[in-house]
Amino acid sequence: MKSKENLVKIDSLLFLLIALTLIFSLSVMKIHANQTDEAYLISVKGTIDLGLSSYIERALKEAETNDAKIVVFEIDTLGGRVDAALQIRDRIIGLNIPSIAYIKNRAWSAGALISLSTEYLIMDKSASIGAAEPRPAEEKIISALRTEFASTASSRGRSEMIASAMVDKDIEIENVVEKDKILTLDANKAVELNFIDGIAGNVKKALNILNYENIEIKYIYPNWAENVSRFVTNPVVSPLLLSIGFLGLVIEFWTLGWGIAGTIGIVSLSLFFGGHVLVGLAGWETIILFLVGIFLLLAEIFIIPGFGLAGISGIVAMVASIFLALGNIIQATYSILIALSISILGFFLLLKYLPSTRTWKKFILSTQQKKELGYTVGTKDLKRLMSKEGITTTPLRPSGIAEVNNIKINVITRGEYIESNIKIKIISIEGNKIVVEAIDTSGT
């Protein structure tokens, strides 16, 4: 009996061992099946902005999901936003896949920081890297960025001093860079200083240097949303969109009703905020604040006469939402100042040239108030109209035209809005300024 029991135990152990071996083999096969012999190529071109950061984040997630062999960053940029570059740098440093920066032409400023964050760094023979002095060149900003460059270079086994000299002109390196000069290296000098891993004429040759021969290169292109967000978050385009938005709303306040200018303004501001939502910088609270501002402005135009608390509150809400959307108080201040400057300049140009155009004549009443048409401006004749009653011929916002004793005159209220065809009474006359109020006819 015992021998049979022992045999059963031995058979069970063998079965368990075979099962475990089979499971292990299948797991290994699955891992190898998921791995790809692909190099994921990510393009870092043009201005570095928050839209680029969003695109790189998506591309890296895709590379990690598909277990790519290596990620290649093809770099050609003059720089851009430091906050966007820091986001990209942190993401690359934490990547669990080998990474390489291939500098096709230039990796200046923020582009240099991204390049230094990769494990391998290879340059085209005509490429350059460096020129990373921040603007404005304040000591606090220089110190912070110098530390980022130094720590990033150190984490990849590169010279901290050389990286720091790309940011701080006070750093002097014998036979490399003089004091009061910002360091920029060409490919040959970078190889000589052992700062990069080699020189190659294209991405394929760069991969060959690192023994990634015969590997398939998979290009990860930005999608339409990332392209739009990159465009509208561009440091040049953002203030321009704000300028068009502000100018459109100013023109709309200047004219009655709602027209093309206001629509263009709203579309421009919507693109500005929509782009920042796509890159994840603006949230719902920013959009809600922006919409509240728009609602208050529309209420000021259509519902509340004049320009008062609602209009001012709307402007304050919109400005606050801009600060939230940009996420950087310095960047927001610059953008708003640029936008206001362009808006004011555009407004004065419109004042000078627009009145002579056919389009403008459609918005502005060009009828002259001639005496033969029933109008009068004589102050002596006006005095006798004191306390007289009449009827409005146009809305008073708060000024407009009323007819008193069969005479059409310009009148103004004390701030309230009065519609046309409403009975009014003259309560004050000061020179040509005629103040009226509506007559309550509800009890008649």
Contact between 54 and 91 (Cβ < 8 Å): no
Residue 307 has pLDDT above 70, yes or no: no
290 and 351 co-located in one domain: yes
Write down the pLDDT at residue 419. 85
CB hemisphere CA count around 209 (13 angstroms): 19
Write down the pLDDT at residue 171. 94
Most confident of 7-16, 121-130, 267-276, 406-415: 121-130
346 and 384 co-located in one domain: no
Higher pLDDT, residue 76 or 434:
76
180 and 55 co-located in one domain: yes
Residue 112 has pLDDT above 90, yes or no: yes
Within-domain flag for 163? yes
Per-residue pLDDT band for 26 (boundaries 50, 70, 90) equals very low
Write down the pLDDT at residue 150. 96
The whole-angstrom separation of Cα 145 and Cα 168 is 9
Q: Kindly write down the DSSP assignment for every residue of 12-46, as one continuous string.
A: HHHHHHHHHHHHHHHHHHHHHHH---EEEEEEEES
Average pLDDT over residues 412-417: 80
Give the Cβ contact number of residue 168 at 10 Å: 20
Write down the pLDDT at residue 279. 64
End-to-end CA distance of the chain: 119
Domain boundary among 222, 256, 274: 222
Most confident of 31-45, 49-63, 275-289, 429-443: 49-63
207 and 252 co-located in one domain: no
260 and 344 co-located in one domain: yes
Is the CA virtual torsion 162, 164, 165, 167 positive or negative?
positive
CATH code of the domain containing 172: 3.90.226.10
Write down the pLDDT at residue 157. 94
Higher pLDDT, residue 203 or 428:
203
The whole-angstrom separation of Cα 383 and Cα 377 is 11
240 and 93 co-located in one domain: no
Within-domain flag for 18? no
Q: If you count them, how many residues does the chain have?
A: 444
Residue 430 has pLDDT above 90, yes or no: no
Element (H, E) at 151: helix 139-155
Kindly state the tokens that stand for 102.
């291939």
Residue 178 has pLDDT above 80, yes or no: yes
Higher pLDDT, residue 1 or 161:
161
The whole-angstrom separation of Cα 289 and Cα 312 is 14
Element (H, E) at 434: strand 433-438
Residue 39 has pLDDT above 90, yes or no: yes
Write down the pLDDT at residue 74. 96
Residue type, 256: L
Q: By three-state DSSP, how is residue 421 classified? A: coil
261 and 387 co-located in one domain: no
pLDDT tens-place string over residues 311-346: 778 878 877 877 777 766 666 677 777 777 777 777
68 and 202 co-located in one domain: yes
Write down the pLDDT at residue 31. 40
Contact between 30 and 61 (Cβ < 8 Å): no
Give the Cβ contact number of residue 312 at 10 Å: 13
Write down the pLDDT at residue 426. 87
pLDDT tens-place string over residues 351-367: 666 555 555 555 554 55
Write down the pLDDT at residue 11. 52
Chain centre distance of CA 199: 36
Please give the share of the chain, as a percent, with pLDDT higher than 90.
36
Write down the pLDDT at residue 12. 56
Residue 288 has pLDDT above 70, yes or no: yes
204 and 156 co-located in one domain: yes
Q: 53-57, 140-144, 255-259: lowest mean pLDDT where?
A: 255-259
Q: By three-state DSSP, how is residue 70 classified? A: strand
Average pLDDT over residues 12-27: 54
Write down the pLDDT at residue 35. 47
Q: Measure Cα distances from 292 to 5, 310, 317 in Å.
A: 81, 10, 7
230 and 211 co-located in one domain: no
Write down the pLDDT at residue 192. 94
Average pLDDT over residues 232-236: 75
The whole-angstrom separation of Cα 281 and Cα 273 is 10
Residue type, 297: L
Number of domains within the chain: 3
284 and 353 co-located in one domain: yes
Kindly state the tokens that stand for 125.
């023979």
Write down the pLDDT at residue 99. 96
Instruction: Report the interhelical angle of 284-302 vs 260-278 (nearest 10°).
Output: 170
Residue 29 has pLDDT above 50, yes or no: no
Higher pLDDT, residue 438 or 340:
438
Q: Is 346 exposed, middle or buried (0-12, 13-18, 19+ CB in 10 A)?
A: middle
Backbone angles phi, psi at 439, to 5 degrees: -95, 125
Q: By three-state DSSP, how is residue 199 classified? A: strand
Domain containing residue 115: 34-222
The model carries a pTM of 0.62
Write down the pLDDT at residue 2. 47
Domain boundary among 170, 205, 222: 222
Q: State the chain's mean pLDDT as an integer.
A: 80
Within-domain flag for 200? yes
C-alpha closest to that of 417 among 434, 433, 436: 436
Write down the pLDDT at residue 33. 41
